[in-house]
Amino acid sequence: MEEDNRKYIGILTSGGDASGMNAAIRAVTRSAIYNGFGVKGIYRGYEGLIAGEVKELTTQDVSGIICRGGTILKTARSQEFTTPEGRRKAYETLQREHISALVVIGGDGSLAGARQLADEYDVVCIGLPGTIDNDLYGTDSTIGYDTALNTIVECVDKIRDTATSHDRIFFVEVMGRDAGFLAQNSAIASGAEAAIIPEDRTDADQLEQFISRGFRKSKNSSIVIVSESPKDGGAMHYAERVRREYPQYEVRVSILGHLQRGGSPSAYDRILASRLGVGAIEALMDGQRNVMIGIHNDEVVYVPFAQAIKDDKPLDKSLIRVLNELSI
Ligand code: F6P
């Protein structure tokens, strides 16, 4: 039998799934094989890395997945990987499987995990930004963000039909944890009257501003997009306040929830994921390690993990002005 001298690249998806992760898995796998590497898929993120759930991937294994949401490798948020013992087991799996480099597709928590593994062991890690939140520094967009944005806009268009028919204020809660990219840009794209986002907490009261600016003057119905925020209580909290402080208005709440994470990826996310996947293999061949691959100003860039995770990605404040001016 012929000896297998190929170097193996491991690939996993971690944290919240995002549409386009499959396109990224396909791109990493095919680009790696094209360039003479072997590829091993690790199932259920760091949980599977700890438990040794590993299977070699061929080009056929990633056929027909570019158009599918979710992740064929499955994903998890691993508690065990946050412990030194968990990371030691993960490292042992990499050694046992002869994996010389690991590609991690995920959000900030997942890339922080990759960074820690690389700090503690001699492991080459490459990160790909995969999260609907778009909150990783150094890349203009993250895999899954554009698809989620389009899903939200489609939903808000539908909500508007009923909002105008009943002359109601709707508070629509969208995902984004600590980042308002989804809320702010979906508000602009759907013609919503306001967005309540974590980045704009400097001014006293975003609700008060919205009521006095738009709704009271000329409009009978309004849509306010609210970034989910465990601290504020999200859309429910604002609806309660309006019921209390402005009882003359009829209010409803719509929490879009996990439907924002599903569905076939947009063309933009497929192209982004494909470019980033090829970029990951190029980076490895280029001797890069412990960087996230991003796209900035339409160019592939390498962002050190520390920067991608720690540096806050600023939301362009001019977007707030755009929304305010256009929602009069
Ligand atoms: O980080 C991605 C994300 O979709 C956030 O926007 C959201 O707060 C979170 O994941 C939800 O996580 P889970 O699916 O574990 O409830």
**What is the Cα–Cα distance from 81 to 113, expressed in whole angstroms?**
7
Residue 261 CA: which ligand 1 atom is closest? 4
**What is the Cα–Cα distance from 265 to 26, expressed in whole angstroms?**
13
User: In this structure, are residues 172 and 159 in contact, taking their beta carbons and an 8 Å threshold?
Assistant: yes
- In the residue annotation, 133 being an active-site residue is answered as yes
* Centroid of ligand 1 to alpha carbon of 306 (angstroms): 22
As beta bridge partners, residue 204 has none
pLDDT of residue 51: 98
Backbone angles phi, psi at 13, to 5 degrees: -115, 145
* Centroid of ligand 1 to alpha carbon of 309 (angstroms): 17
> What dihedral do alpha carbons 140, 142, 145, 146 form, nearest 10°?
60
Rounded alpha-carbon distances, angstroms, from residue 262 to 20, 72, 77, 145, 199:
10, 13, 18, 11, 26
pLDDT of residue 209: 74
- Alpha carbon of residue 326 to chain centroid: 27
* Residue recorded with tokens 């995770």: 309
DSSP reduced 3-state for 291: strand
pLDDT of residue 221: 86
**What is the Cα–Cα distance from 133 to 303, expressed in whole angstroms?**
18
Q: Tens digits of per-residue pLDDT, 109-165?
A: 999 999 999 999 999 999 999 999 999 999 999 999 999 999 999 999 999 999 999
pLDDT of residue 266: 98
DSSP reduced 3-state for 131: coil
**What is the Cα–Cα distance from 54 to 4, expressed in whole angstroms?**
18
* Residue recorded with tokens 């294994």: 61
- Residue among 127, 130, 71 nearest 104 (CA): 127
Catalytic, out of 17, 108, 133, 135: 133
User: In this structure, are residues 301 and 166 in contact, taking their beta carbons and an 8 Å threshold?
Assistant: no
pLDDT of residue 12: 98
pLDDT of residue 49: 98
Q: Any residues with Cβ below 6 Å from ligand 1, and which?
A: 16, 107, 131-133, 175-177, 228, 261
CB burial of residue 34 (10 Å; 0-12, 13-18, 19+): exposed
pLDDT of residue 324: 87
DSSP states of 195-251 as a string? EE-GGG-SSS-HHHHHIIIIIHHH-S-EEEEEE--TTTTHHHHHHHHHHHH-TTS-E
As beta bridge partners, residue 172 has 225, 254
pLDDT of residue 202: 56
pLDDT in tens, the chain (328 residues): 678 888 999 999 999 999 999 999 999 999 999 999 999 999 999 999 999 999 999 999 999 999 999 999 999 999 999 999 999 999 999 999 999 999 999 999 999 999 999 999 999 999 999 999 999 999 999 999 999 999 999 999 999 999 999 999 999 999 998 899 999 999 999 999 999 998 876 555 777 777 776 555 556 889 999 999 767 789 999 999 999 998 989 999 999 999 999 999 999 999 999 999 999 999 999 999 999 999 999 999 999 999 999 878 888 889 999 998 898 8
**What is the Cα–Cα distance from 216 to 29, expressed in whole angstroms?**
55
**Considering just the CA atoms, what is the radius of gyration of the chain in Å?**
22
Please, which residues have CB within 8 angstroms of residue 314's CB and are 6 or more apart in sequence?
199
DSSP states of 104-128 as a string? EEE-HHHHHHHHHHHHHSS-EEEEE
- Tell me the one-letter amino acid at 49: L
pLDDT of residue 115: 97
* Centroid of ligand 1 to alpha carbon of 76 (angstroms): 11
Backbone angles phi, psi at 117, to 5 degrees: -60, -45
Q: Tens digits of per-residue pLDDT, 16-39?
A: 999 999 999 999 999 999 999 999
Residue 182 CA: which ligand 1 atom is closest? 6
